Amino acid sequence: MLSKWFIHRSSIQNKFLISTICLILVPLGVFGFITLQISKNSIESQVSQSNLKTLGQIAEKTDMLLDDVIAVSNTFYLNDEINHAFTTEITANSYEEAHLRAAFDRLLTNSIYSFGKLQYHVTLLGLNGLEQSTNPLNMNIRIRDIVNEPWFRKAAEAKGRILWITEPIPGLMATEDGRSTFHAVRISNRFETGAPTGLVMISVNATTIRSLYESALDEQREIVIIGDDGRVISSQADGKILTNVKDRSYYWKIQQYESGYFVDRENDTEQLISFQTIGKTGWKLVSYTPTKVVLSSLNRIQLIVSIVFIIVVLLAIGASYVMAKRLAIPIKRLYRDFTRVETGDLSVRTPIHQDDEIGLLTRKFNQMVARLNELMQGITVEQQQKRHAELQALQSQINPHFLYNTLTSIRFMLHKHSVDKVDSVIVALVKLLKQSISKHDELIPIEEEISMLHNYMYIQQIRQGDKLEVHYAFIDEMMPFKTIKFILQPLVENAIFHGLEPKLGKRTLWIRGAMQDGDILFEIRDDGVGMEPASKAGLFLDEYAEDGQAAHRGGLRNVHERIQLYYGAKYGLTVESELGVGTKVSVLIPAWYKWKETNAK
């Protein structure tokens, strides 16, 4: 529905604006959005891969550190003197005790010499009561007090393999210092029975492992080591050590894969999270980097691009509006001028302000209207000439017919009347001819038309004698108005020759004129023979006699055609007739200008 309105009913200006938005601004906006998203994903991927590479390096260093821890553990765990001490009763201040202490110190010195960068404590506890430790906190601890602890049983089940313990060891560590320590625990067993004989524990200070990744830290990035139980082993923030991340939404990803990166929320902030597995222990190195830091430069670029895009949008809409308006205004002006031409105003000329297609169209429109005006003026002149010729032709039809009838009447009068009577008739005819033939005006005052009618009726009354009686009834108000000449005489002539003369006895003719609703109405009524309906119906048909002359009622048709030609179809003749009773002919013409007003102009 919207597309149909846009295609068929929307203005050109709206189409131009909407098309600009749809074809330029929308694709540009989509392209900018996609480009920023791709850039964002690319930056996140690059930073994450860089973090992952860094974590891989840290993991390698951590594995090397753990190898050193394992080497230290092996130094004591595989030593024959230590194993012998675990199974031999050693009394205090005895030679055996001194020998064991000397061996322990020698092994410790060698280990410190070999792994000087490693900060650790060594603790040896035997079931026979042997107690040796470099950590003062572990002094005076008896192994019989810890053999029932779950971690000890788990270490015993490991059969000499190292058990990495990241949380404080119950019954062993007595202070909070253990919170920053992880332990490599091994249980020495009898070869014959596999029964535990003693414990070798290497406790490494957490600062040692933290030093492996401290160089990779900055104000924005955070790195932690998470144990296989979900606890934080190491962090630059001591407050996070031993906190558990199992309840975090991303923990399953870290546990499921060896390494990787993703975006998630941590501490109510969107973070780039990268992780790497430490091969020796299965611990996870996890790096947190806020995305707002990673994308800070891109965000600035995005802000600049957004501002530029808004400016481009405003400029594009403004330019489109101006261009659409420049297109629409000439077209609207042309449409308005077309409407004026449609109403008949051919004086319209549309101004041309540009030389493009609209300017060419406007120029052609002006040429068309000018040509149309010329043609209309030519047609008007031609129609006026044609109407004048038709009026002249109709007039020429009346004059010969009138002269023929009048001269015929005078011829008959020569045998019946005196010379004076005939002379007066000829004088009346001369006056009539002078009024009708000599003047070339199309319009004459009604008063003059009635004067011509009186001259004509004088001739007819002389001819008819006392057989014809005429009654006139004209109002003075109508006299100054104008009419086309010779409209009453043909009707009166037709009434006399075709209505009254066929009648025997006395004949009467009534001629009246009056105003009617702003028009002028003449009535010529006779008490003659009348007409049959068929004859009445054919009065205004174009009927001609065989000799080419107008039929006997051609005068009525002639007057009717002249009136309609000059005044329009509203005006003309109407005939009412009844056979044996008489005929009434009504003439309706408009009340055009008073004679004095016409002369004043």
**What is the number of alpha carbons within 13 Å of residue 366 lying toward its C-beta?**
10
Q: What is the mean pLDDT of residues 166-175?
A: 63
pLDDT tens readout for residues 79-138: 888 888 888 877 666 777 777 778 888 888 888 778 877 788 888 888 877 788 887 666
559 with 487: CB under 8 angstroms? yes
Residue 358 and residue 363: Cα distance in Å, rounded?
8
Provide the 3-class DSSP secondary structure of residue 442: coil
| pLDDT over 80 at 417, yes or no | no
> Which pair of tokens denotes residue 86?
């675990």
Question: 452 phi and psi, to 5 degrees?
Answer: -65, -40
pLDDT tens readout for residues 296-334: 777 777 788 788 878 887 887 777 777 777 777 777 788
Element (H, E) at 314: helix 296-342
Determine how many CB atoms are found less than 10 A away from the CB of residue 123: 22
Residue 245 and residue 249: Cα distance in Å, rounded?
9
Provide the 3-class DSSP secondary structure of residue 129: coil
Provide the 3-class DSSP secondary structure of residue 414: helix
Q: What is the mean pLDDT of residues 249-277?
A: 86
Q: What is the mean pLDDT of residues 407-436?
A: 77
Single-letter code of the amino acid located at 378? G
Q: What is the mean pLDDT of residues 345-358?
A: 76
Measure Cα distances from 93 to 27, 98, 308 in Å.
90, 7, 87
Q: Which residues contact 477 (CB under 8 A, 6 or more apart)?
A: 515
Element (H, E) at 292: helix 291-294
Share of the chain above pLDDT 70, in %: 82
Radius of gyration in angstroms for the set of CA atoms belonging to the chain, rounded to a whole number = 66
597 pLDDT band, cuts 50/70/90, is very low
pLDDT of residue 253: 86
Residue 177 and residue 205: Cα distance in Å, rounded?
9
Residue 348 and residue 198: Cα distance in Å, rounded?
119
Domain ranges for the chain, please list them: 379-600
Single-letter code of the amino acid located at 421? K
**Which pTM was predicted?**
0.51
Provide the 3-class DSSP secondary structure of residue 554: helix
pLDDT of residue 391: 60
pLDDT tens readout for residues 199-254: 898 888 777 787 887 777 766 778 888 888 888 888 877 667 767 888 888 888 88
pLDDT of residue 13: 66
Residue 412 and residue 477: Cα distance in Å, rounded?
39
245 with 252: CB under 8 angstroms? no
pLDDT tens readout for residues 498-532: 888 888 888 999 999 999 998 999 999 999 998 87
387 pLDDT band, cuts 50/70/90, is low
Burial 509-532 (b: 16+ CB within 10 A, else e): bbbebeeeeeebebbbbbbbbbbe
| pLDDT over 90 at 16, yes or no | no
| pLDDT over 50 at 551, yes or no | no
Determine how many CB atoms are found less than 10 A away from the CB of residue 311: 10
Average pLDDT over the chain, rounded to an integer: 79
Residue, of 166 and 90, whose pLDDT is higher: 166
Q: What strand order describes the sheet that includes 507-516?
A: 468-474, 507-516, 519-526, 582-590, 572-578
Residue 344 — left, alpha, or beta (φ > 0 → left; ψ -120 to 50 → alpha)? left
Q: What is the mean pLDDT of residues 377-395?
A: 70
pLDDT of residue 566: 82
pLDDT of residue 49: 86
Bridge partners (DSSP) of residue 444 are 483
Q: CATH number of the domain at 379-600, please?
A: 3.30.565.10
pLDDT of residue 395: 58
Lowest mean pLDDT among 432-446, 479-493, 576-590: 432-446
Bridge pairing between strands 259-266 and 269-277: antiparallel
